[in-house]
Amino acid sequence: MSRKLFGTDGVRGTANVYPMTADMALKLGAAAGRYFRRDGSAAHRVVIGKDTRLSGYMFETALTAGFTSTGMNVFLLGPVPTPAVGMLTTSLRADVGVMISASHNPHQDNGIKFFGPDGFKLSDEAEMEIEALVEEGVEPAQALNIGRAKRIDDGRFRYNERVKATLPGGRRFDGLKVVIDCANGAAYKTAPEVLWELGAEIIPIGVNPTGTNINEKCGSTSTRLAAETVVAHGADVGICLDGDADRVIIVDEKGQVADGDQIMALLAARWAGEGRLARGTLVASVMSNLGLERFLTGRGLVLERAAVGDRYVVERMREGGFNLGGEQSGHIVMTDYATTGDGLLAALHFLAALADEGRPASEMVHQFDPIPQMLKNVRYSAGSMPLDADNVRKVIADAEARLTGSGRLLIRKSGTEPLIRVMAECEDEALLARVVDDIVGAVQAAV
């Protein structure tokens, strides 16, 4: 059975357009409820969190109806970061957790992500079984067995305390001036609270959600506002989260941006020096820069590559017994502390390194010189298969031959949007540009 609803990170799309409709959310809730209640026992629980999108109200209500119709009791967290859902699923002894969010996507999109009772995202196999239940239909519980719904008012405070507790030795950030950009998203209260409680002087931006301004000209995918704010206020560093706060991008004191590869390089080197990096290995996706790989190799460390999506990074980490991984986009996963990417957690550990070493952020985030990399996206219409076109295949084969020995090429469909992503790396920037443009042109012609 092929997956029709689930992508690389749950179900995602434009709100009120298939598959992101209230009706489908209800069916998904009922199907997931039945899947996690297969033993037929009572007292089953589901934890539901969301970001700040207007459509979150609709999907929260629909999912609640679906779950309670199968006898699941629902705990509603309101706006919290995605990693808080993973954490609270285990803390509240729930059978399943759900995050309603489209992460870094614009406000008109939304998504539904599932977590198992262990706080980790579901496997492909589990998602396929839930899809099958959606197609088959689910028999509702008897009237006396319908579940209840309860709002949990202190969910974010529990999460706040958990992330602070991961810092060693009562670490504080007194004397650090920090710009924190919450993308008008799920961490708009959480992140400023945690940083202020730890003693930092904070300059918050992206903390006034309207339901339609999440990720709009702010956050980890639009760092200009944060960079300008850092420079204008003479801040030591800027922290940019995305809409559901599971990824982070760092801005140094000069307004320069550092991606997840640089953050992972810093943490891997520090952890290795402290004897904490499990098996001397960092797990990253196929999108991570060759420069990161060379940086690690030069220190006797190993880079393991996984498919794109923090869920696949985590799966490889669990399989190999590794404790640090992430993605160039800013997902940083520390399985000693969390079950998924956690932007705020990673930011705290970066700030701890900054405070320990006493060097400016611009030095801390420049761990290696990246190999020139170019990424371009081509939007395609539903149902079209541009990568199967004969001319596209020929152009890709030619590009791979031209890059042999000097770079690499990665072409894939996005798991969250109808995009073909064309990425290449090569030290010869002129060749890099020609290769990418040739492939993009061929894909556009096929589209």
Residue whose C-alpha is closest to residue 68's, from 141, 16, 126, 5: 141
Q: Is residue 68 part of a domain?
A: yes
Residue whose C-alpha is closest to residue 444's, from 373, 392, 374: 392
Mean pLDDT confidence for 123-128: 93
Residue at 130: amino acid letter: I
Half-sphere exposure of 105 (CA within 13 A, CB side): 24
Distance CA 39, CA 147 (A): 16
Clarify whether residues 324 and 276 are in a common domain: yes
pLDDT of 244 over the 70 cut: yes
Q: Is residue 5 part of a domain?
A: no
**Model pLDDT, residue 248:** 98
Tens digits of per-residue pLDDT, 294-346? 999 999 999 999 998 899 999 999 999 999 999 999 999 999 999 999 999 99
Evaluate whether 51 touches 12 at the Cβ level (below 8 Å). Answer: no
Q: Read out DSSP for 125-156?
A: HHHHHHHHHHHH--PPPPGGG---EEE-TTHH
pLDDT band, very low/low/confident/very high, at 358 (cuts 50, 70, 90) = very high
Domain boundary among 255, 288, 315: 255
pLDDT of 147 over the 80 cut: yes
Q: Is residue 337 part of a domain?
A: yes
Distance CA 82, CA 170 (A): 25
Clarify whether residues 32 and 64 are in a common domain: yes
**Model pLDDT, residue 14:** 96
Distance CA 177, CA 233 (A): 9
Domain boundary among 157, 192, 212: 157
Clarify whether residues 27 and 126 are in a common domain: yes
Clarify whether residues 275 and 242 are in a common domain: no
Clarify whether residues 17 and 153 are in a common domain: yes
pLDDT of 231 over the 80 cut: yes
Residue whose C-alpha is closest to residue 319's, from 331, 328, 311, 329: 311
**Model pLDDT, residue 180:** 98
Sheet holding 248-251, edge to edge: 201-205, 177-181, 237-241, 248-251, 257-258
Please confirm whether the linkage preceding 386 is cis (ω < 30° from 0): no
Clarify whether residues 185 and 317 are in a common domain: no
Owning domain of residue 180: 176-255
When the pLDDT of each residue in the chain is averaged and rounded to a whole number, the result is 95
**Model pLDDT, residue 40:** 58
Q: Is residue 247 part of a domain?
A: yes
Q: Is residue 243 part of a domain?
A: yes
**pTM, to two decimals:** 0.91
Q: Is residue 368 part of a domain?
A: no
Give whole-number Cα distances, 122 to 73, 79, 128, in Å: 20, 21, 10
Clarify whether residues 76 and 91 are in a common domain: yes
Clarify whether residues 215 and 90 are in a common domain: no
Give the CATH number for residue 206: 3.40.120.10
Clarify whether residues 145 and 43 are in a common domain: yes
Total of domains in the chain: 4
Q: Is residue 168 part of a domain?
A: no
The conformation of residue 118, written as its DSSP 8-state character, comes to T
**Model pLDDT, residue 319:** 97
Task: Provide the annotated active-site residues.
Answer: 103
